[in-house]
């Protein structure tokens, strides 16, 4: 069987396989660097002071913006807003969620969160 390279590359099956590979490569290249916004619920986490009780929402809604590839690589189910409460005293406090309290990578931006502002009530622990 003597097949030339031209006949091998231009037969019906080879063209379909090459089109499939080229299409997948093009789709992956374009979608990998696509900017995307996602909204998800994250819990609030307070640490640093066992002598107080904090009444706060269980979770908040945050909107994140970044490259699709970075959002895929991030562990979104482990995301939480962390607050050090060792300097809190009894009273009501507005707190703000920032890039640092979420421990986000540099290439992912926090667009907004709700409720805004978050009001927490601090009381003495019995």
Q: What angle do CA 110, 121, 97 make, to 5 degrees?
A: 10
Tell me the DSSP string of 73-107.
HS-GGG--EEEE-TT--SEEEEE---TTTTT--TT
Region label for 91, one of left (φ > 0), alpha (ψ between -120 and 50) or beta (otherwise): left
Q: What is the CA radius of gyration of the chain?
A: 25
In the chain, where are the structural domains located? Answer: 1-32, 35-124
pLDDT at 103: 92
Intra-chain end-to-end CA distance of the chain, in Å: 89
Residues of the chain with pLDDT under 50: 1
pLDDT at 1: 47
Q: Give CATH for domain 35-124.
A: 2.170.120.30
């Amino acid at each position: 069987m003597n097949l030339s390279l031209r006949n091998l590359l231009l037969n019906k099956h080879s063209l379909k396989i090459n089109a499939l590979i080229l299409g997948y490569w093009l789709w992956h290249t374009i979608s990998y660097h696509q900017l995307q916004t996602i909204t998800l619920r994250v819990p609030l986490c307070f640490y640093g002071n066992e002598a107080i009780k904090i009444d706060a929402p269980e979770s908040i809604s945050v909107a994140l913006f970044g490259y699709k590839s970075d959002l895929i690589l991030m562990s979104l189910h482990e995301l939480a807003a962390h607050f050090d409460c060792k300097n809190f005293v009894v009273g009501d406090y507005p707190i703000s969620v920032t890039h640092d309290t979420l421990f986000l990578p540099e290439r992912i931006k926090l667009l907004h969160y709700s409720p805004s502002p978050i009001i927490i009530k601090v009381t003495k622990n019995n």
